[in-house]
Amino acid sequence: MKPGITNIVSAVDSTFLFITVTSVVLLVLVTFFMLYFVVKYNRKRHPQAEQIEGNLLLEIVWTVIPTVLVLLMFYYGWVNFSYMRNAPDDAMTVKVTGMMWSWQFEYKNGKQSNTLNVPLGKPVNLILSSADVIHSLYIPAFRIKEDAVPGLKTHLWFTPNEIGSYDIFCTEYCGTGHSHMLSKVVVMTGEDFEKWYGTAAPQGAKDRGLNLLQVKGCLGCHTTDGTGKIGPTFKGIFGRKEIVITGGKERDIVADEEYLKKSVLQPEADIVKGYPPIMPVIPVTSGELDDIIEALKGLK
Ligand SMILES: [Cu+2]
């Protein structure tokens, strides 16, 4: 860790401020002199053009000053960038998976969540990957952003310094649900975090299923309150009559267990009329699928 840098937010902000202020000062200076010379050397005052040989001192000044400025920009950029790329050894590791269209966070003890819960003051090292296409995890409050790429592990770290809840966005256009790919970083006290971290996984098929609907990102596209989103609502789905499109032909079905299972495993097989055929295949075990069906039966 480089001395003098205490956190990523101030490192990014100070570099950004330095580059912006320098650029604004130069813009004002250049514009001022441009207008000044337009007035000073206009044709009315100088009907006869004259040859100006040059000025060695002036040329040295306008070469050296910008060179020093861009070297300083590089220096600050490099020092702060290398600080941002190297997580401290005591950081807590969280696995992040981007998928169409949700974020899944997995902790060391196997706990999964669709919000990033972290304890105050402890560095967090995120290891990113993607289950389908390229996404990009962006946490503006912490000034960090990194792509989540299928088949590749990328990383990102930060230290949360204030209790609160902060937005997470996907900043790589990843399809129809891209703008719904939102989540939160929830910064809590160490005590609250330990309590949350230690909570056992939900018991009972229905509760496990409801948790899976969250964690697997289903609720990114399907609601449980009866309103349509990107896909049909889960409310009252079990036993509902639907018109689906199968291989280009409309047919009537009843959403029974067999149909629901098939819709998870082969989302493209039957498309409910009026919805786009965009549901990705989300990896589930057969046990998880049974729990999900139990949860769907309960959403009346
Ligand atoms: Cu995305």
pLDDT of the chain, 300 residues: tens digit per residue: 344 567 888 888 989 999 999 999 999 999 999 999 999 888 888 888 888 888 999 999 999 999 999 999 999 999 988 988 999 999 999 999 998 888 999 998 888 888 999 999 899 999 999 988 999 999 999 999 999 999 999 999 999 989 999 999 999 999 888 988 899 999 999 899 998 888 777 778 888 888 888 888 788 788 888 887 788 899 888 888 889 888 888 888 888 888 888 888 888 888 888 888 888 788 788 888 888 998 888 888
Q: What pLDDT was estimated at residue 32?
A: 97
Which residue type sits at 295?
A: A
- N-to-C CA span, the chain: 54
Q: What pLDDT was estimated at residue 2?
A: 45
Q: What pLDDT was estimated at residue 165?
A: 94
Task: Say how many C-beta atoms besides its own lie within 10 A of residue 162's C-beta.
Answer: 9
- Contact of 180 with 229, CB cutoff 8 Å: yes
Kindly give the distance from the C-alpha atom of residue 112 to the centroid of ligand 1, in angstroms, as a whole number.
Answer: 19
Kindly give the distance from the C-alpha atom of residue 74 to the centroid of ligand 1, in angstroms, as a whole number.
Answer: 31
**Which two tokens mark 68?**
């020093």
Q: Is the dihedral of CA 133, 134, 137, 138 positive or negative?
A: negative
Kindly give the distance from the C-alpha atom of residue 7 to the centroid of ligand 1, in angstroms, as a whole number.
Answer: 27
Q: Which residue, among 197, 189, 217, 190, has the nearest Cα to 109 in the 3D structure?
A: 197
Cis bond before residue 101 (omega within 30° of 0): yes
Which residue type sits at 35?
A: L
Kindly give the distance from the C-alpha atom of residue 173 to the centroid of ligand 1, in angstroms, as a whole number.
Answer: 6
Kindly give the distance from the C-alpha atom of residue 172 to the centroid of ligand 1, in angstroms, as a whole number.
Answer: 6
Q: What pLDDT was estimated at residue 285?
A: 85
Kindly give the distance from the C-alpha atom of residue 38 to the centroid of ligand 1, in angstroms, as a whole number.
Answer: 51
127: Cβ–Cβ under 8 A, 6 or more apart, which residues? 93, 94, 95, 96, 153, 154, 155
Kindly give the distance from the C-alpha atom of residue 104 to the centroid of ligand 1, in angstroms, as a whole number.
Answer: 12
Q: Residue ranges per domain, the chain?
A: 8-85, 92-198, 205-298
Kindly give the distance from the C-alpha atom of residue 137 to the centroid of ligand 1, in angstroms, as a whole number.
Answer: 8
Instruction: Look at residue 111 and give its three-state secondary structure.
Output: coil
269: Cβ–Cβ under 8 A, 6 or more apart, which residues? 246, 262, 263
Kindly give the distance from the C-alpha atom of residue 170 to the centroid of ligand 1, in angstroms, as a whole number.
Answer: 5
Kindly give the distance from the C-alpha atom of residue 174 to the centroid of ligand 1, in angstroms, as a whole number.
Answer: 5
261: Cβ–Cβ under 8 A, 6 or more apart, which residues? 289, 293
Q: Which residues surround the ion ligand 1 when the cut-off is CB under 5 Å?
A: 135, 170, 174, 181
Instruction: For domain 92-198, give the fold.
Output: Immunoglobulin-like (2.60.40)
Kindly give the distance from the C-alpha atom of residue 182 to the centroid of ligand 1, in angstroms, as a whole number.
Answer: 9
Kindly give the distance from the C-alpha atom of residue 130 to the centroid of ligand 1, in angstroms, as a whole number.
Answer: 9
Instruction: Look at residue 132 and give its three-state secondary structure.
Output: coil
Q: What pLDDT was estimated at residue 246?
A: 87
Does this chain's domain 8-85 share its CATH topology with 205-298?
no
Kindly give the distance from the C-alpha atom of residue 292 to the centroid of ligand 1, in angstroms, as a whole number.
Answer: 24
Q: What pLDDT was estimated at residue 5?
A: 67
| Phi and psi at residue 256, to the nearest 5° | -95, -175
CATH number for the domain running over 8-85: 1.10.287.90
Kindly give the distance from the C-alpha atom of residue 147 to the centroid of ligand 1, in angstroms, as a whole number.
Answer: 9
Instruction: Look at residue 108 and give its three-state secondary structure.
Output: coil
Architecture of the structural domain at 205-298: Orthogonal Bundle (1.10)
If 0-12 CB within 10 Å is exposed, 13-18 middle and 19+ buried, where does residue 101 land? buried
Kindly give the distance from the C-alpha atom of residue 265 to the centroid of ligand 1, in angstroms, as a whole number.
Answer: 21
Distance, CA of 55 to chain centre: 52
